[in-house]
């Protein structure tokens, strides 16, 4: 039996990726825009609190189980920044180019350029679910000063995977989904839902 689930996002890439894996545990994933759900506020300083707020918001407005993610890049030398502010690191309006410029400039004086992508997924059965299902993933790498590759988005052209000698932007979509923080979190969530 297939059950409907609302994804607290309208990102078509996430919808496809999440939809394929969640179908294996009986869920049909729909973007929140299908139900005219506006984007939730993300006022928190942790990924898990923001994802939980988004999931509860989507569940409350649709009456359906909901899934939300929050993710970003965390640089060790910067105490985990930009973290939850990754998408708006250089301010509004959102700009990948300005975000990357700011991150590279702030890391410039530091010898440690290591960073990781982090993703947390939160699944709620209903808006007031006292036991949300939470899964996360972490993808280690380092920030480089020169962009490489045409794929991906955000920080991907500057996020080097030393073991592969490639940036995330140089990976195929299949490789990225298999290795990424979001892919790790999604597989862990599916295992928990089984």
Just list the catalytic residues. 70
Candidates 65, 64, 146, 66; CA nearest to 113 is 146
Are 29 and 66 in contact, with CB atoms under 8 Å apart? no
């Amino acid at each position: 039996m297939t059950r409907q689930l609302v994804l607290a996002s309208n990102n078509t890439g996430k919808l496809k990726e999440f939809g394929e894996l969640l179908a294996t545990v009986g869920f049909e994933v729909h973007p929140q825009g299908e139900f005219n759900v506006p984007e939730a506020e993300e006022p928190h300083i942790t990924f898990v609190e923001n994802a939980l707020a988004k999931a509860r918001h989507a569940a409350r407005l649709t009456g359906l189980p909901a899934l939300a993610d929050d993710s970003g890049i965390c640089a060790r030398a910067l105490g985990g920044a930009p973290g939850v502010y990754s998408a708006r690191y250089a301010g509004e309006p959102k700009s990948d180019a300005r975000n990357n410029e700011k991150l590279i400039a702030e890391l410039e004086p530091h010898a440690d350029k290591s960073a990781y992508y982090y993703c947390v997924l939160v699944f709620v059965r209903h808006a007031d679910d006292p036991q949300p299902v939470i899964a996360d993933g972490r993808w280690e790498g380092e920030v480089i000063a020169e962009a490489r590759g045409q794929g991906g988005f955000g920080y991907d052209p500057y996020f080097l995977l030393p073991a592969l000698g490639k940036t995330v932007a140089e990976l195929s979509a299949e490789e990225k989904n298999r290795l990424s923080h979001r892919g790790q979190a999604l597989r862990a969530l599916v295992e928990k839902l089984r």
